Amino acid sequence: MTSAPASGPGHAAGPLRVLIVDDSASIRMVLGDIIGAEPDMTVMATAGDPYVAVERMRQQVPDVIVLDIEMPRMDGLTFLRKIMAQRPIPVVVCSSLTQQGSDKMIEAFSAGAVEVIAKPRVETTQALQESRMLVCDAIRAAARARSVRPDQPPPPPIPLHARLTADPVVPPLPAHRLATLRSTLPVTQPVICIGASTGGTEALREVLEQMPPDAPGIVIVQHMPPSFTAAFARRLDSLCQIEVREASHGDRVLPGLALIAPGGFHMTLRRINQDYRVDILEGPYVSRHRPSVDVLFRSAAYAAGANAVSVIMTGMGDDGAVGMSEMREMGAATIAQDQASCVVFGMPKEAIERGCVERVVPLSRIAAEALRAARATGMMRRAR
């Protein structure tokens, strides 16, 4: 007897069912090996193009689709739009990312993709391990993304893995140094520090579109693969009143400018007298990411202290929670996106549970709240 197809994504129990759609047999095999080795997910089926994928989905509905962009007969973007129009399922776009192809990644997010990742690298053991982490984290994040259909129950909780700290990139300061630093940091222009991950591309657009031309300088870590952030910044720059660009090493943080950390590199904030600059650094993954929000936030705690505003937005995992706690200890204002407006309420939840968040607000109010906090921070500093 043939069993009836499953009801759809977000089933109550069992490993996550993943459908791999890619025209490369070798990539399907690598992805299959990566996914199959994880206890909380399984390869439901593979397909060489969207037409075969449709046939597979008639037999069983996946919880997550891992989808290539460049394929014969029907490209991945067209298939993604059809999925979202007919039967929305969380989609992770997995493609060969180049500067030329990064605009298509922007289109993928606009069409409804939850995550965009690079195809796994297998040339070294370390590259394969990093690819394994990124692929599996993206699938878990997609499965936990806010459902577009309210009748879907959430997937089972997925435990967080052990994390690295920001120590290898920004060495921690001892308590007595922190106390001295907090009392001696000069008053400067405020700086807004933002961290986001899954769902953050559209959330950041909404926040930055509300920023006035004279907004305080903004530094952003959005979890992205290499070769993608430049196109993302260009898109935001075309939509916003402020200037938005991918950060380069040594860039000044200026009013009316938002700098986005380049994919594959950490970004830190440093102070030179009354000014701030960013450094773009290589280094290990921190909180399972590069760039890492924890790295930016810790550096901002040390460089800006109470002159900073810290904002944590939608995303899977806990990146940024430790760094936001450190920023709060140094006097920074702290804001988190609320659960109802998050695609994945992971990063804000972790920060809230640490007790370091002053204000929890919906996405539509983050820009106004950050601007209010920046003004208040400056006034309080000058009143001392």
Give me the active site residues, please: 197, 223, 319
Cα distances (angstroms) measured from residue 260 to each of 45, 217, 276, 308, 377 = 37, 11, 15, 17, 23
Over its C-alpha atoms, the chain yields an Rg (Å, rounded) of 21
| Beta carbons within 10 angstroms of residue 71's beta carbon | 23
Choose among 16, 64, 20: nearest CA to 40: 16
d(CA 118, CA 123): 14
What token pair was written down for 171? 């060495």
Determine phi and psi for 314, rounding to 5 degrees: -45, 140
Peptide bond into 291 cis (omega under 30): yes
- The angle subtended at Cα 159 by Cα 153 and Cα 165, nearest 5°, is 135
- The DSSP bridge pattern shows strands 243-246 and 275-281 to be unpaired
What token pair was written down for 308? 């900073």
What token pair was written down for 305? 């202290």
- The angle subtended at Cα 268 by Cα 267 and Cα 274, nearest 5°, is 135
Cβ contacts of 69 within 8 Å, gap of 6 or more: 75, 76, 77, 93, 95, 101, 104, 105, 108
d(CA 337, CA 64): 25
**Is-contact 201 222, C-beta < 8 A?**
yes
d(CA 66, CA 115): 10
Beta strands in the chain (DSSP E): 16-21, 41-47, 64-67, 91-95, 115-118, 191-196, 217-222, 243-246, 257-260, 266-272, 275-281, 308-312, 333-337, 359-361
